[in-house]
Amino acid sequence: MAALWVAGVARKSLTVAAGAPRREFWSRFRKEKQPMEAETVEEVKKEPVLVCPPLRSQAYLPPEDLQSRLESHVKEVFGSSVPTSWQEISLEDVHMKFSFLARLADDLGHAVPNSRLHQMCRVRDVLDFYTVPVQDRSKFDELIASNLPPNLKITWGY
């Protein structure tokens, strides 16, 4: 029994020691790996790189030439034949409204939110919307920055 077992182990060790069949066995796997890696690298390069642009701040300050910019956009969208009362032009037509508001949003970096789109009936409403500045800071930051009486302290421990 023990002699048979020793002979079997010796046979196994002989076959393991014979390196030629083992090398052939492993070399097949090595050859298969290399073309696969080259293919995956090429596929990754072909996909377009989608990089997220930097976050925009929600703060908006109306520029000083807001009225002139609005007038120029009105002329672009509604044609150059614009009456002097350009603020009374109605935005009923969906095409005109979309092109006008989209151009303004791209120009000024501040878009009309969904909840207030239906309130924009005339160019005057759009002008009133864009004259209101929007601040990025929370109420607490505003309070801290404003003039407080000396006995009032605000600690924001978030």
Partner 1 sequence: MLQLVRAGARAWLRPRGCRGLNALAEEAVQPAEKPEPLANAGPQAPVLRRCELPVPLHRRPVQAWVESLRGYEQERVGLTELHPDVFSTAPRLDILHQVAIWQKNFKRISYAKTKTRAEVRGGGRKPWQQKGSGRARHGSIRSPIWRGGGVAHGPRGPTSYYYMLPMKVRVQGLKVALTVKLAQDDLHIVDSLELPTADPQYLMELARYRRWGDSVLFVDLEHDDMPQNVVAATSGLKTFNLVPAVGLNVHSMLKHQTLVLTLPTVAFLEEKLLWHDSRYTPLYPFRLPYRDFP
Determine if 53 is a binding residue for partner 1 (CB under 8 A).
yes
Name residue 60's beta-bridge partners. 134
Query: With contact defined as beta carbons under 8 Å apart, do 78 and 89 qualify?
Result: yes
Applying CB under 8 A, among 24, 32, 47, 136 the residue interacting with partner 1 is: 47
Would you state the structure tokens that stand for residue 73, as one six-digit string? 């956009």
55 near partner 1, judged by CB under 8 A: yes
Per CB under 8 A, does 132 bind partner 1? Answer: no
Q: Which residue, 51, 152, 60, 143, is CA-closest to 105?
A: 60
The answer to the question of residue 122 lying near partner 1 (CB under 8 A) is no
Nearer to partner 1, 17 or 132 (CB): 132
Closer residue to partner 1, CB minimum distance, 114 or 155: 114
Q: Which of 136, 66, 143, 149 is nearest to 108 (CA)?
A: 66
Binding mask 69-108 for partner 1 (x = CB under 8 A): -------------------------xx-xxx-xx--xx--
How buried is 148 (Cβ within 10 angstroms: 0-12 exposed, 13-18 middle, 19+ buried)? exposed
- In angstroms, the CA 93 to CA 16 distance is 85
Binding residues for partner 1, per CB under 8 A?
A: 47-48, 50, 52-53, 55-56, 58, 94-95, 97-99, 101-102, 105-106, 111, 113-115, 117-118
